Amino acid sequence: MPRFEYQAVDDYGRRVRGTLLAHDESALRDSLSGAFLHLLSAEERSAGAAGTPLFRKKVKKGELIQFTFLLRTLVGSGVPLVTALDDLGQQTEDAVLKEVVQDVRCNIQSGASLSDALALHPGVFPDLYVSIVRAGETSGNLEEAVADLVKFLSWQEELSGQIRHATFYPATVLTAVVGLIFVLFSFVFPRFLQVFKASRVVLPLPTRVVIAVSEFFRDRGLLVLAAVAATAIGLHVYRSTEAGRLRTDGWKLRIPVVGELLRALEVSQFCHFLASLFRAGVEMTLSLSIVERVVGNRVIAGAVRHAREELLAGGSLSTSLRKSGEFPPIVLRMISVGESTGHLDETLENVSQYYDRAIPRVIKKTFAVMEPLVTLTLGVVVLGAALSFFLALYKMVGSMGATG
């Protein structure tokens, strides 16, 4: 069925943009009329064409969780899907989500399935979300599939909150360190440079180091900033390539202490993604294909891709994942048990629950190591600055006393 991007106006004169599946423009006009919208213009798009800027905008995770929770409640209560979406569109306060929900409702009225209507808005409903809904529609268990989505999205939001909470203190202290260094070398040190340099005494080594660094930043500060900016841009461009993304993601996993946390987060997401899709009834190779696209780290995504290829060739999931060397033994063991017993969905869920308990401990362990390091850095900066000044002042006062 062709896809049309349209502009319409409602009975109150408000403009509405959207994407609608319809056989032709006449059918599009009829579908919009059923939603009390009057067509202004329409343009047919191919299946792979990019959507309008509206549908590339993001919706807050909290809004999406609330939408999904209410959708599950209404569907479970037997409310017709179009009516449920109409109620949800009126209740949401997010302008983007409101318009997207209205567009989804129009598409369902025109004969599209819920999953197809959601798939028209990838910026709001990712592949994983659409695939679980589609599996629920196919199996006739839409309510259960949406309930799984609520749990999954809630887990993601809780995990993000734990990470934000754990990183707040180190980030604050690190920002203070950078700000202090900038203030010291840009404003404080230069005021004393002339006094120290005019004295005839031999300044202590810490003071000479501070003077040299301060003069370097004063004389070549713009050059340093340009070099930092060029390096940042270069790294960004390099990471935009597949080879660069793969290599930098591999480096991240090998960073001492932090790499352990990043690997745990990626493996936890892999288990949650795969468990949600498999439990919803999505075929394993298709589940792996979706997980490959939504996993953030390219190294882990590559391991998932190779696992899918070996699975298609007749291999087992646990064996192919073991070859990558990227997955912890407990994950491989549980997946192997699930394949042997025929209860892979249960073992994946058990692994997910294990990581739900383990991730907070890994986060605390990681930042328990980082916090003292950041605090120590701040102390070294402050102590070094104070030491350089006091040693210089002591030397100058001592020389004045000797001459007097």
Q: What is the pLDDT of residues 33-80, one digit of tens each?
A: 776 777 777 777 654 444 444 445 678 888 889 999 998 898 888 888
What pLDDT score was predicted for residue 49? 44
What pLDDT score was predicted for residue 351? 85
pLDDT above 70 for 353: yes
Q: Are the C-beta atoms of residues 308 and 322 closer than 8 Å to each other?
A: no
How many CB atoms sit inside 10 A of residue 393's CB? Answer: 14
The string of pLDDT tens digits covering residues 272-320 is 888 888 877 888 888 898 888 888 888 998 999 999 999 888 888 888 8
How would you classify the pairing of strands 37-45 and 15-21?
unpaired
How many CB atoms sit inside 10 A of residue 180's CB? Answer: 15
Give the pTM: 0.67
Q: How far from each other are the two terminal CA atoms of the chain, in whole angstroms?
A: 98
Residue 30: strand pairing partners: none
pLDDT above 70 for 262: yes
Helix axes 95-109, 25-34, angle to 10 degrees: 120
Catalogue all structural domains in the chain, each as residue range(s) with its CATH number.
Answer: 3-125 (1.20.81.30), 152-404 (1.20.81.30)
Choose the weakest-confidence range: 170-174, 224-228, 297-301, 400-404: 400-404
